Amino acid sequence: MSERTSPYPQGVPCWVDMGSPDLQASLDFYAAVLGWSGLIGPEELGFYTNCTVRDKRVGGMMKLPDPAMPIMWTVYLAVDDADAIVAKAQAAGATVVFPVMDVMDLGRMALLSDPTGAVVGIWQAGTHHGAELVNEPGGVMWNEVMTRDSKAARAFYSEVFGYTYEDMSADGIEYHAFMVDGRPAGGVMGMDENWPDEVPAHWTVAFCVADTDAAVATVRESGGAVLSEPADSPYGRYATCKDPHGATFSVIAGDEDFEAAAAK
């Protein structure tokens, strides 16, 4: 099911957002690449902007409060009790980057750095359950945590969010899908010595597109960059890109089996 009207199960990635130094420019870029629509939010809400496809929320943007801050997509995991999860995460070795706070009646959020250094958000739904559209063009299809210590990361997310794992490692690639209620909800990839030292542990977002090659061409035409050219995988045609301000994301035209398996 690509549309969602109820809260996500605990541990499932439920929302993504980013900070931008130029919201209109970012909106224009993702409108061209992903077909997004959106109106910049009011100043009293930090110009927070809900981006939509078919009038369904798919992600958010906000005005970057400090130009020195990194420009990146943040992945939020659904939780039933934000305060309890933060306490559990701290006990398991996480650092609190941003403490639990209420976002009006929309929900409660916090930002954590896991024990391997990857920053992830948590979201306790209020009136805002998260993305209303996933797994179809313009919506999020997949999320991964990239880390140099996959074992430690897997232990942390299992302890805090109850993940189990399916080992999908092959050909020198260490990869585990994390499972929620017996279904794959994302992945944990080990970063080996081939990754540049300056690349920290991080969470990634892959957006669904109808045609990966066409999306990559639009990224270039719209001022972005392509970090890895389109390539076929067992789960669809995939490419990694960077928007004009430096935020990294991926696009994937998934096959029907993958879309069904990744349904949130």
All structural domains of the chain: 13-125 (3.10.180.10), 140-261 (3.10.180.10)
Beta strands, E only, the chain: 13-20, 49-53, 56-63, 73-79, 95-103, 107-113, 119-125, 140-147, 164-167, 175-180, 183-190, 202-208, 225-233, 236-242, 248-254
Say if residue 92's pLDDT is above 60.
Answer: yes
Nearest to 205 by CA among 69, 77, 110: 77
Q: Which residues pair with 77 in a beta bridge?
A: 13, 122
Better-scored residue on pLDDT, 202 or 257: 202
Instruction: Report pLDDT for 18.
Output: 96
Better-scored residue on pLDDT, 263 or 111: 111
Say if residue 262's pLDDT is above 60.
Answer: no
Q: With the CA atoms of 252, 206, 163 and 91 taken in that order, what torsion angle do they form, in degrees rounded to the nearest 10?
A: 160
CB atoms within 10 A of CB 136: 18
The size of the chain, in residues, is 264
Residue whose structure tokens are 């359950």: 129
As a whole number of angstroms, the distance between CA 140 and CA 121 comes to: 16
Residues 75-101 have a mean pLDDT of 98
Q: For the chain, what percent of residues have pLDDT higher than 90?
A: 84
Q: How confident is the model at residue 255 (pLDDT cuts 50, 70, 90)?
A: low
pTM over 0.85: yes
